[in-house]
Amino acid sequence: MTGATSFCRETQNSAENREVIQVFALVFCLTRMCAILHTDGMKEARFESSSDVVRWLQSEAAGLWPALLGSLSFRRSPCVRENCPACMSGEQHPSYVLYGRQKGRRIAVYVPEELVAEVRRGLDNGRALQELLQQAAPRYVKALKRERAKSKNKKS
């Protein structure tokens, strides 16, 4: 029995075991912290009003201008000139095009190379704004439902 006891003490004191225990403790603490933050966030969201959601959305969206929808594509296409050296060599003419939709129809707009960076920034902002709207929708509806339930409870 003394051999087993001394083996356990040696194992407990080994640096390897201390590292495993430290990692386990760290994982446990992080997991607990995430759980606390998650439930705290749920409590805050539970009492969020529809006007709170509107203010949040307005403040988040304020820096997202210009916001564009569509896609920017680089293309090479032939021109209309006869015997054009670039077209005849197969190189063709490079250009950027913004594709989008207007009244259900696909449209294409030529984008000069100097404006490509600005258009890309607008498209990134448009995607970010879409994401915000996706987040706002359920929060806003839940807030409206809570407000409706509160007003029904006051009437009763």
CB count, 10 Å around CB of 12?
A: 10
Please give the DSSP secondary-structure letter assigned to residue 73.
E
Cα 147 to Cα 76, 115, 139: the distances in Å are: 56, 46, 12
Residue with tokens 């994401």: 131
**What pLDDT is stored for residue 21 in this prediction?**
56
Query: CA nearest 109: which of 101, 98, 117?
Result: 98
Q: What is the mean pLDDT of residues 105-126?
A: 97
**What pLDDT is stored for residue 2 in this prediction?**
54
**What pLDDT is stored for residue 115 in this prediction?**
97
Token pair belonging to 107: 């449209």
**What pLDDT is stored for residue 153 in this prediction?**
84
pLDDT digits (tens, 9 = 90+) for 56-114: 999 999 999 999 999 999 999 998 898 999 888 988 999 999 999 999 999 999 999 99
**What pLDDT is stored for residue 151 in this prediction?**
87
**What pLDDT is stored for residue 47 in this prediction?**
82
CA distance 69 to 89: 35
pTM above 0.85, yes or no: no
CA distance 31 to 38: 10
Cβ atoms of 112 and 106 within 8 Å: the answer is no
**What pLDDT is stored for residue 128 in this prediction?**
96
Strand 105-111, strand 93-102: pairing: antiparallel
pLDDT digits (tens, 9 = 90+) for 3-26: 555 444 554 455 555 555 555 555
- Measured in Å, how far apart are the chain's first and last C-alpha atoms? 73
CA distance 12 to 39: 36
